[in-house]
Amino acid sequence: MAEPNWIELAGVVNMRDLGGLTTERGEVVQARRLLRSDNLQDLPADSVRTLVARYGLTDVVDLRTDVEVVREGEGPLRALPEVRHHHLTLYREDTDESGIPAAERSLPWERGDAEAAATRRAAEAASPSSPAATPPSHDEFWSQHYLSYLDQRPDSIVAALRAVADGEGAVVVHCAAGKDRTGTVVGVALKAVGVPDEEIEADYAASAERVPRILDRLRQRPAYAANLRDKSVAQQSPTTDTMRLLLDALENRLGGVHAWLAGHGFDADDVERLRRKLLAPDAHSDDRAAADGPGDAGQPE
């Protein structure tokens, strides 16, 4: 399996290039086609220039909610006319009101946290022999949470895949931490083009090594500080089993990735465009690799 191709840039802690992953047919995901990241809000000017000039960034898929964008702002890449932005929330209950006072609007998952806490309390109060006494495991909880994205906002997931397929250059998909919403969209994209489950699971779980830094970073941001105050590294760390459960559900409960996508308007022609974008060799890729130097793997210094 390919090692994570980390992109070490000031302003982010969980950015990587999906280049190097191999499909079941032996095709290789090309570098500088699909990037994944945590929040881009803190990118300094040098990092912005690196993404545009060195990685050829042309599109940003922003999976943050409207509330997050209002609280955090659109970020420095939004000011660049040559970079297209696709804002696609994965929550049904969201708001685009531009003047939301931070103290008056909860983030969608904060309501979910309250519901989960109530479920746990009910389970603890139930008889030990009752099925209700067993709350979901860490992996079950998160995989069910990710399935809710597919249930609530299939339109946003399909639009995100179209943005990747149609992007002229590199496309970065990001949310806040770059592991949950981003992991779901990236996982569906990779599954659609034939990357085997174990590769998708390993890529998803790679974010675990960055969780301490992710939490340290987001606890300094106004939109996330209160929600993350009592969250532990273990609670927030992705595992291969979480993604395995999601991919199993996509296959066995939702009819398979291609059937699910087709049912939401992303047909075989769309999948082929996505395959060409991610897998087809670029005539100029060898020249760029030579310019980067041997063993650079596309990483900025």
Q: Which residue segments constitute the domains of the chain, with CATH numbers given?
A: 5-289 (3.90.190.10)
166's CB contacts (< 8 A; 6+ apart) are: 273, 277
Mean pLDDT of 262-274: 98
Cα–Cα distance measured from residue 87 to residue 62, given in angstroms and rounded to the nearest whole number: 5
Q: Is the pLDDT of residue 9 over 80?
A: yes
pLDDT score of 134 more than 50: yes
Tell whether the model's pLDDT for residue 254 goes beyond 70: yes
Phi-psi region at 212: left, alpha or beta (left = phi > 0; alpha = psi -120 to 50): alpha
Confidence (pTM):
0.85
Which residues, 6+ apart, have CB-to-CB distance to 171 below 8 Å? 33, 34, 35, 57, 58, 59, 60, 61, 163, 164
Residue 109 has pLDDT above 90, yes or no: no
**Band of residue 292 on the pLDDT scale cut at 50, 70, 90:** low
pLDDT at 64 over 80: yes
Helix (H, G, I), strand (E, B) or coil at 32: coil
What phi and psi values does residue 21 have, to the nearest 5 degrees? -65, 145
